Amino acid sequence: MLNQSKSLSQLAVQKFKQNRIGLCSFWFVIFCGFIAVFGYLIAPDNSKNANQMHVEIHSKKPGFTVEMLTIPLKEERSQSFFNKLFMGSTQINTEIPIQSYSILKEELEYIGYGDGLPKTISLAVLNNTPKKYITKKTFYFGTDKYGRDLLSRLLIGTRISFFIGFIAVFISLFIGIGIGAIAG
């Protein structure tokens, strides 16, 4: 029977596979890296830095649901896929949280969330299809004091955390190499 020896890298991988906490941590970092790269595609609010504010619905608890009236932009500019992926959407439609609405002859009358005052908007602004622009929106992690979606902020925040971590490692690497080279 031949006794085969394993290389050091094979032994390291074998030991790593036996360490359950290390393996779970590895997959968690991979998962966070996936979120950091594809955060704007996953996040419910894909505006730049997930910074779309709805002050009317500030500080709501997780699972909060509200109807949103989306007012489309007058002119749409094209944005490349990679620009959206790394920078977020630069074209954000105006969203208004509403309590109720009714369709009149040429107008949509709605009551904004929290103020109770009826307001109207022309159906021409909504391309004469108002139901297309009224949707239910759920804030799974709630909202912050400015009414921003906390889930989106958390997902986009992983990108910033990774960036800060890499910068810290590179700074320590360059300082360490420089001091080591001087020390001999």
Beta bridge partners of 71: 94
Give the C-alpha separation, 56 to 52, whole Å. Answer: 12
**Predicted confidence band at 178 (pLDDT cuts at 50, 70, 90)?**
very high
CA distances from 100 to 34, 77, 90, 127, 179 (A): 39, 31, 29, 20, 66
Q: What is the mean pLDDT of residues 19-32?
A: 96
Domain boundaries, the chain: 45-148
Beta bridge partners of 70: 95
**Predicted confidence band at 24 (pLDDT cuts at 50, 70, 90)?**
very high
Identify whether the C-beta of residue 77 lies closer than 8 Å to the C-beta of residue 171. Answer: no
**Predicted confidence band at 39 (pLDDT cuts at 50, 70, 90)?**
very high
Q: Give yes or no for residue 3 having a pLDDT over 70.
A: no
Q: Amino acid letter at 48?
A: K
Give the C-alpha separation, 79 to 86, whole Å. Answer: 12
Q: Which two tokens stand for residue 4?
A: 């085969």
Identify whether the C-beta of residue 91 lies closer than 8 Å to the C-beta of residue 79. Answer: yes
Three-state secondary structure call for residue 41: helix
Q: pTM surpassing 0.85?
A: no
Mean pLDDT in the chain?
91
Q: Is residue 128 left, alpha or beta, with left meaning phi > 0 and alpha meaning psi from -120 to 50?
A: left
Q: Please report the pLDDT score of residue 19 as a whole number.
A: 94
Q: Give yes or no for residue 177 having a pLDDT over 90.
A: yes
Give the C-alpha separation, 123 to 65, whole Å. Answer: 25
- How many beta carbons lie within 10 A of that of residue 100, not counting itself? 11
Q: Please report the pLDDT score of residue 45 as a whole number.
A: 93
The 10s digit of each residue's pLDDT in 123-151 is 888 888 888 999 999 999 999 999 999 99
Q: Give yes or no for residue 55 having a pLDDT over 90.
A: yes
Give the C-alpha separation, 67 to 104, whole Å. Answer: 19
Q: Give yes or no for residue 118 having a pLDDT over 60.
A: yes
Q: CA dihedral in degrees (142, 146, 148, 150; nearest 10)? A: -50
